[in-house]
């Protein structure tokens, strides 16, 4: 008889679910009413912070991301909270100084964060070392992440070697992150099995449903020994989100990997989020069918929508097929980076430029220049030196960890925030998003002053 080994589930509805389907626009007020029931499910963890949520809270929702964390923490008494940390990019789109990263981790733990999923877009471990160090120092769970992609250099040995190097840094668990939905069942089985047999840590698998393969890959990963899989509640799942929680629970029932989760309770939660999703129809444009283009070009769905907008602005939408075909060529020239934030934007924008201007690398984006200078880290494979020369001329790329060249940034953030700073977390917000956070803090201050204003009432009231 097969050994019983329960597979656990991390729910992504409150972060990656709505980031993938609703442009990260779900407001905190729509999260809080259902949390008591979510807390009863028995999830391994709830991913509810990080990624694009921090930026979007301030930029579009006029919400304090730190208050979202605190509010959810108050209501989740039994379930661990989890976030996506972009390593040295923190929750932004560039590298930040170590003092910003360190303070962010410290404040996140103080406000209730339990698990940090740490990844680097290039799988450059040098960019992840400080994140792991700071998370461990604060007593939280450090989950190292290997971003999954397909290329001549991303073979089985690459994933085994990278996983081993990360575990040697003392991480608590390891995750394979398939952000584009291109992980097929066979490599899912092989990588998970290799890690489980050789690394001695908990293994988690994160897939998007974009290509329609993710649930099959989860089943093979369960057979290989995976400990945790990432799912979203049914009404916020599939498409470019994660596989459906209820479907995976039922698929694993009466197997050695039975999750033990209550399908009736999950159904109640799904009905709630069905109603919530109806509030965001203006952002709800995810494809209703699998996007097999991702298997050809390895382009996540968000990249294609960006291409469409970019080309529309240039009155060049007819060139979309050329841009899609150009992405793999640029990616090869750039050393086969995985297409995840921010490398997806770098490669995608450069591919669009190459097509729009009618000549490859006639015009290079500022991000492409910084990439070729080494300021994002070490590419997985050597870049095309002829292309590098076209982009940055005879400049020599840096060889060190990029953040080693960044001076401390918190002092400038304190100065920029000035009297708008009310708590230590505000300094971190300003350091991360100096173009967005001060305006948010100004509006927050104005709201509080308005709340303190006496009512405009001319009625004379005689004191008793």
**336-375 pLDDT per residue, tens:** 999 988 999 899 999 999 999 999 999 999 999 999 999 9
> Reduced to 3 states, what is the DSSP secondary structure of residue 129?
helix
When pLDDT is averaged across residues 62-70 and rounded to a whole number, the result is 97
Dist. CA 312–CA 330, nearest whole Å? 21
Query: Which residues make beta-bridge pairs with 84?
Result: 50, 117
Span of 236-245, 299-308, 442-451 with lowest mean pLDDT: 299-308
Dist. CA 190–CA 173, nearest whole Å? 18
Confidence of residue 200 (pLDDT cuts 50, 70, 90): very high
Confidence of residue 2 (pLDDT cuts 50, 70, 90): low
Instruction: Specify whether the CB–CB gap between 112 and 81 falls below 8 A.
Output: yes
Altogether, the residues listed in the chain come to a count of: 464
Closest CA to 353 of 385, 387, 398, 394: 387
When pLDDT is averaged across residues 2-29 and rounded to a whole number, the result is 92
Confidence of residue 1 (pLDDT cuts 50, 70, 90): very low
Buried b (16+ CB within 10 A) or exposed e, 72-82: bbeebeebbbb
- Chain centroid to CA 143: 13
Q: What percent of the chain has pLDDT over 70?
A: 95
Dist. CA 438–CA 430, nearest whole Å? 6
Is the pLDDT confidence value at 230 over 60? yes
Query: Which residues make beta-bridge pairs with 230?
Result: 10
Instruction: Specify whether the CB–CB gap between 142 and 116 falls below 8 A.
Output: yes
Span of 151-160, 438-447, 449-458 with lowest mean pLDDT: 449-458
pLDDT at 461: 35
Dist. CA 433–CA 53, nearest whole Å? 13
> What DSSP letter does each residue of 236-265 carry, written as one string?
G-STTSPPBHHHHHHHHTTSTT-----HHH
pLDDT at 462: 35
103, 107, 113, 114: CA torsion to nearest 10: 60
Confidence of residue 464 (pLDDT cuts 50, 70, 90): very low
Cβ atoms within 10 Å of 206's Cβ, excluding its own: 26
pLDDT at 440: 97
When pLDDT is averaged across residues 120-149 and rounded to a whole number, the result is 98
Instruction: Specify whether the CB–CB gap between 290 and 210 falls below 8 A.
Output: yes
Dist. CA 229–CA 219, nearest whole Å? 10
Confidence of residue 296 (pLDDT cuts 50, 70, 90): confident
45-50 and 202-207 as β-strands: parallel, antiparallel, unpaired?
Answer: unpaired
Dist. CA 192–CA 340, nearest whole Å? 21
What tens digit of pLDDT does each residue of 147-180 get?
999 999 999 999 999 999 999 999 999 999 999 9
Dist. CA 83–CA 90, nearest whole Å? 11
pLDDT at 460: 39
When pLDDT is averaged across residues 379-408 and rounded to a whole number, the result is 97
Is the pLDDT confidence value at 450 over 90? no
pLDDT at 3: 66
Q: What percent of the chain has pLDDT over 90?
A: 84
Confidence of residue 302 (pLDDT cuts 50, 70, 90): low
Dist. CA 88–CA 122, nearest whole Å? 12
- Tell me 78's DSSP state: S
When pLDDT is averaged across residues 406-422 and rounded to a whole number, the result is 98
Helices then strands, counting H and E runs in the chain, come out as 20, 8
Report pTM.
0.93
Instruction: Specify whether the CB–CB gap between 100 and 410 falls below 8 A.
Output: yes
Cβ atoms within 10 Å of 296's Cβ, excluding its own: 13
Is the pLDDT confidence value at 454 over 70? no
pLDDT at 26: 97
Is the pLDDT confidence value at 399 over 90? yes
> What DSSP letter does each residue of 296-355 carry, written as one string?
HH---HHHHHHHHHHHHHTT-GGGHHHHHHHHHHHHHHTT---S-TTHHHHHHHHHHHHH
pLDDT at 463: 31
Span of 69-83, 169-183, 310-324 with lowest mean pLDDT: 310-324
Cβ atoms within 10 Å of 404's Cβ, excluding its own: 11
Cβ atoms within 10 Å of 267's Cβ, excluding its own: 12
Is the pLDDT confidence value at 186 over 50? yes
Instruction: Specify whether the CB–CB gap between 97 and 412 falls below 8 A.
Output: no
Mean pLDDT of the chain: 93
> What DSSP letter does each residue of 359-403 carry, written as one string?
STTSS--HHHHHHHTTTT---SS---HHHHHHHHTTPPPP-S-GG
Angle subtended by helix axes 185-198 and 214-224, to nearest 10: 30
């Amino acid at each position: 008889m097969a050994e019983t080994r329960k597979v656990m589930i991390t729910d992504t509805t409150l972060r990656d679910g709505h980031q993938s389907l609703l442009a990260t626009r779900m407001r905190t007020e729509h999260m809080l009413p259902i949390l008591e029931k979510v807390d009863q499910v028995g999830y391994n963890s709830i991913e509810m912070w990080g990624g694009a949520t921090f930026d979007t809270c301030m930029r579009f929702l006029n919400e304090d991301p730190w208050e979202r964390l605190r509010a959810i923490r108050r209501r989740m008494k039994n379930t661990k909270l989890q976030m996506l940390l972009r390593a040295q990019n923190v929750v932004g789109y560039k590298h930040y100084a170590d003092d910003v990263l360190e303070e962010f981790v410290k404040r996140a733990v103080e406000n209730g964060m339990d698990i940090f999923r740490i990844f680097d877009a290039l799988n450059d471990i040098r960019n992840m070392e400080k994140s792991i160090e700071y998370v461990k120092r604060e007593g939280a769970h450090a989950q190292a992440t290997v971003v999954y992609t397909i290329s001549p250099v991303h073979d089985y040995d690459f994933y085994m070697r990278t996983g081993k190097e990360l575990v040697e840094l003392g991480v608590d668990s390891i995750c394979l992150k398939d952000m584009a939905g291109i992980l097929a069942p066979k490599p899912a089985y092989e990588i998970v099995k290799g890690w489980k047999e050789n690394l001695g840590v908990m293994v988690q698998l994160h897939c998007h449903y974009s290509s329609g393969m993710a649930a099959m890959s989860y089943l093979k990963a369960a057979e290989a020994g995976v400990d945790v899989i990432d799912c979203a509640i049914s009404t916020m799942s599939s498409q470019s989100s994660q596989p459906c929680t209820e479907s995976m629970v039922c698929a694993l029932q009466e197997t050695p990997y039975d999750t033990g989760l209550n399908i009736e309770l999950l159904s109640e939660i799904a009905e709630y989020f069905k109603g919530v999703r109806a509030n965001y129809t203006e952002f709800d444009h995810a494809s209703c069918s699998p996007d097999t283009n991702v298997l050809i070009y390895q382009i996540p769905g968000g990249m294609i929508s960006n291409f469409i907008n970019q080309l529309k602005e240039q009155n060049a939408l007819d060139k979309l097929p050329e841009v899609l075909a150009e992405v793999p060529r640029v990616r090869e020239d750039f050393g086969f980076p995985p297409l995840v934030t921010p490398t997806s934007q770098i490669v995608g924008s450069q591919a669009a430029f190459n097509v729009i201007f009618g000549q490859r690398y006639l015009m290079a984006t500022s991000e492409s220049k910084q990439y070729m200078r080494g300021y994002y880290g070490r590419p997985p494979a050597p870049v095309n030196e002829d292309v590098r020369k076209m982009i940055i001329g005879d400049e020599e790329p840096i060889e060190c960890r990029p953040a080693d060249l960044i001076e401390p940034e918190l002092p400038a953030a304190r100065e920029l925030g000035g009297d708008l700073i009310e708590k230590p977390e505000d300094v971190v917000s300003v350091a991360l998003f100096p173009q967005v956070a001060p305006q948010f803090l100004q509006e927050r201050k104005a709201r509080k002053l308005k709340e303190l204003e006496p009512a405009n009432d001319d009625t004379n009231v005689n004191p008793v």
